[in-house]
Amino acid sequence: MARVVVGTSGWHYQSWRGPFFPAGLLVKHQLRFYASQFETTELNGVFYRTPSEAAVRGWRDQTGPDFVFAWKASKFITHWKRLSERSTNSLELMESRLKLLGDKAGPVLFQLPPQFEADHDRLASFLRRLPEHRRYSFEFRHRSWYAPAILRLLRQANVALCLSDHHDAPAPWRRTADFVYVRGHGPDGRYRDNYPAATLKAWAKRIGGWSAHGVDVFVYFDNDQKSAAPADALQLRRLLEESRRTRRIARQRSADQRADLSVGSST
């Protein structure tokens, strides 16, 4: 059965204290509380610095057995080494941390810088260096990456185009893998404000369609200013739950009608 998980990009935000985190909650208990509300998070801080092994084990141990951590790859890989062959050591270091998460390790996100224009051969070479047992997604910040040849390359490698609405280069909603990775940066793509209800309803409809076809979906809100992200994540989850209930009721009614017709035809 397809799995749909909704969460936020990180959880350590001062502005969330009060609106989301209970007043007086100790910082060291924030992840445990977060995990009581959501079943996934995107590890955003690891983009800036590789965490210690003890930190990764702590995240693993503070969350439930079905919790999922998406991992945002180090900027050393995407911004400094720019997917080149010099990325090998950084990839190995990242893999050493991912292994500590065990079954809780989810997709790995590679967020490219806005000055990095499309380079088909470099991307193809980089994809060949990635361990095959993990899921990967790419968030492009330059529109040139949305060319058909790049999307075809992602499909061939079963790598997801990150469906991002970042203001630099909003992505087309194209599925290129056996899973979908959505990243919401806010209604104007600048990390602020809540999404309109109509937008979240449209997302819920698309996500429900993918799920109905057996596609796993990972959704992360990055509009972290003034705790908009957790509020929108909770609202989207409610909409998805309502949609699932509606589909279950419709299926049950259809089954009941077929049963009634079968009984009627046999009398």
Instruction: Name the residue type at position 166.
Output: H
Per the listing, tokens 């979240």 go with 200
The full set of domains in the chain, from first to last, is: 4-266 (3.20.20.410)
Q: Tell me whether residue 228 is exposed, middle or buried, using C-beta atoms within 10 angstroms of its C-beta: 0 to 12, 13 to 18, 19 or more.
A: buried
Residue 17 backbone dihedrals phi, psi, to 5 degrees: -75, 115
What confidence tens digit (pLDDT) does each residue in 187-238 have?
999 999 999 999 999 999 999 999 999 999 999 999 988 899 999 999 999 9
pLDDT of residue 263: 62
Quick check: 107 pLDDT over 60? yes
Q: Cα dihedral sign for 242, 247, 250, 252?
A: negative
The pTM for the full model equals 0.93
Backbone angles phi, psi at 58, to 5 degrees: -65, -45
161 pLDDT higher than 90: yes
Tell me the pLDDT band of 135, cut-offs 50, 70 and 90.
very high
Q: How far apart are CA 70 and CA 220, in angstroms?
A: 9
Residue 40 neighbours by CB distance under 10 Å: 24
